[in-house]
Amino acid sequence: MSATAHTPSPRAAVRPPRAGRSNGQWKVDGPEPLNANEVFKAESDPLAVRERIERVYAREGFDSIPSDDLRGRLRWWGLYTQRKPGIDGGRTATLEPHELEDRYFMLRVRIDGGALTTRQLRTIAGVSEDFARGTADLTDRQNIQLHWVRVEDVPEIWRRLEAVGLSTTEACGDVPRVILGSPVAGVARDELIDPTPVIEEIQSRFVGDPSLANLPRKFKSAITGHPSLDVVHEINDIAFVAVRHPDLGVGYDLWVGGALSTAPRLGERLGAFVAPERAADVWHGVVRIFRDYGYRRLRNKARLKFLLADWGVERFRTVLEQEYLGYALPDGPAAPVPPTPGDHLGVHRQKDGQYYIGFSPVVGRVSGPQLRQVADLAEARGSHRVRLTPHQKLLVLDVPPRRARGLITAMAKIGLAAEPGAWQRRAIACTGIEYCKLAIVETKRTAATAIATLEERLGDLDRLTPLSLHVNGCPNSCARIQTADIGLKGQIITDDAGRQAPGFQVHLGGGLAGEGTAGGGLGRTVRGLKVAADDVAGYVERVVRRFDADHADGE
What's the rounded Cα separation, in Å, for the pair 35 and 297?
Answer: 6
Closest approach of Cβ 431 to ligand SF4, in Å?
4
Longest dimension (CA), the chain: 67
474, 501, 522, 537: residue in contact with ligand SF4 (rule CB under 6 A): 474
What's the rounded Cα separation, in Å, for the pair 198 and 431?
Answer: 30
Query: Which residue lies nearer to ligand SF4 by CB, 2 or 262?
Result: 262
Does 363 bind ligand SF4 (CB under 6 A)? Our answer is no
What's the rounded Cα separation, in Å, for the pair 188 and 344?
Answer: 10
Does 261 bind ligand SF4 (CB under 6 A)? Our answer is no
What's the rounded Cα separation, in Å, for the pair 52 and 536?
Answer: 45
256, 467, 478, 488: residue in contact with ligand SF4 (rule CB under 6 A): 478
Does 144 bind ligand SF4 (CB under 6 A)? Our answer is no
Closest approach of Cβ 249 to ligand SF4, in Å?
40
- CA distances to 150, 423, 430, 533 from 538, rounded to whole Å, are 40, 14, 21, 10
What's the rounded Cα separation, in Å, for the pair 38 and 299?
Answer: 9
Query: Which residue lies nearer to ligand SF4 by CB, 474 or 508?
Result: 474
- CA distances to 196, 303, 359, 388 from 272, rounded to whole Å, are 21, 22, 36, 29
Binding mask 437-456 for ligand SF4 (x = CB under 6 A): -xx-----------------
Closest approach of Cβ 237 to ligand SF4, in Å?
17
Q: Which residues contact 33 (CB under 8 A, 6 or more apart)?
A: 24, 39, 41, 42, 296
Does 259 bind ligand SF4 (CB under 6 A)? Our answer is no
- CA distances to 8, 198, 213, 370, 394 from 206, rounded to whole Å, are 30, 12, 9, 33, 27
- Amino acid making up residue 342: G
Contacts of ligand SF4 in 516-545 (CB under 6 A): none
Query: Which residue lies nearer to ligand SF4 by CB, 350 or 525?
Result: 525
Cα-only R_g, the chain: 23
Residue nearest to ligand SF4 (CB): 473
436, 501, 513, 518: residue in contact with ligand SF4 (rule CB under 6 A): 436
Contact, 88 vs 133, CB < 8 A? no
Q: What is the 3-state secondary structure (H, E, C) of 222-269?
A: EEECCCCCCCCHHHCCEEEEEEEECCCEEEEEEEECCECCCCCECCEE
Closest approach of Cβ 410 to ligand SF4, in Å?
32
Contacts of ligand SF4 in 43-72 (CB under 6 A): none
Closest approach of Cβ 430 to ligand SF4, in Å?
3
User: Taking contact as CB under 6 A, which single stretch among the options 53-61, 134-142, 318-326, 469-477 is the one that binds ligand SF4?
Assistant: 469-477
Does 231 bind ligand SF4 (CB under 6 A)? Our answer is no
Query: Which residue lies nearer to ligand SF4 by CB, 274 or 474?
Result: 474
Does 469 bind ligand SF4 (CB under 6 A)? Our answer is no
44, 64, 196, 476: residue in contact with ligand SF4 (rule CB under 6 A): 476
Closest approach of Cβ 90 to ligand SF4, in Å?
14
Q: In what order do the strands lie in the sheet with 115-117?
A: 115-117, 385-388, 394-399, 355-359, 346-349
What's the rounded Cα separation, in Å, for the pair 312 and 491?
Answer: 34
Closest CA to 491 of 549, 432, 542: 432
Closest approach of Cβ 440 to ligand SF4, in Å?
7
User: Taking contact as CB under 6 A, which single stretch among the options 169-177, 264-272, 471-479, 494-502 is the one that binds ligand SF4?
Assistant: 471-479
125, 417, 430, 540: residue in contact with ligand SF4 (rule CB under 6 A): 430
Contacts of ligand SF4 in 122-141 (CB under 6 A): none
Total residues at interface with ligand SF4 (CB under 6 A):
11
Closest approach of Cβ 388 to ligand SF4, in Å?
17
Does 106 bind ligand SF4 (CB under 6 A)? Our answer is no
Specify the length of the chain in residues: 555
472, 482, 491, 505: residue in contact with ligand SF4 (rule CB under 6 A): 472
Closest approach of Cβ 504 to ligand SF4, in Å?
12
Closest approach of Cβ 25 to ligand SF4, in Å?
27
Closest approach of Cβ 140 to ligand SF4, in Å?
10
User: Taking contact as CB under 6 A, which single stretch among the options 61-69, 139-147, 415-423, 470-478 is the one that binds ligand SF4?
Assistant: 470-478
What's the rounded Cα separation, in Å, for the pair 53 and 152?
Answer: 9
Does 431 bind ligand SF4 (CB under 6 A)? Our answer is yes
Closest approach of Cβ 439 to ligand SF4, in Å?
3
Backbone angles phi, psi at 413, to 5 degrees: -65, -25
Does 188 bind ligand SF4 (CB under 6 A)? Our answer is no
Closest CA to 502 of 487, 486, 491, 489: 491
- DSSP-derived secondary structure letter, 177: E
**Sign, Cα dihedral of 507, 511, 516, 518:** positive
432, 487, 520, 521: residue in contact with ligand SF4 (rule CB under 6 A): 432
Contact, 327 vs 321, CB < 8 A? yes
Can you give the binding site for ligand SF4, defined by CB under 6 A? 430-432, 436, 438-439, 472-474, 476, 478
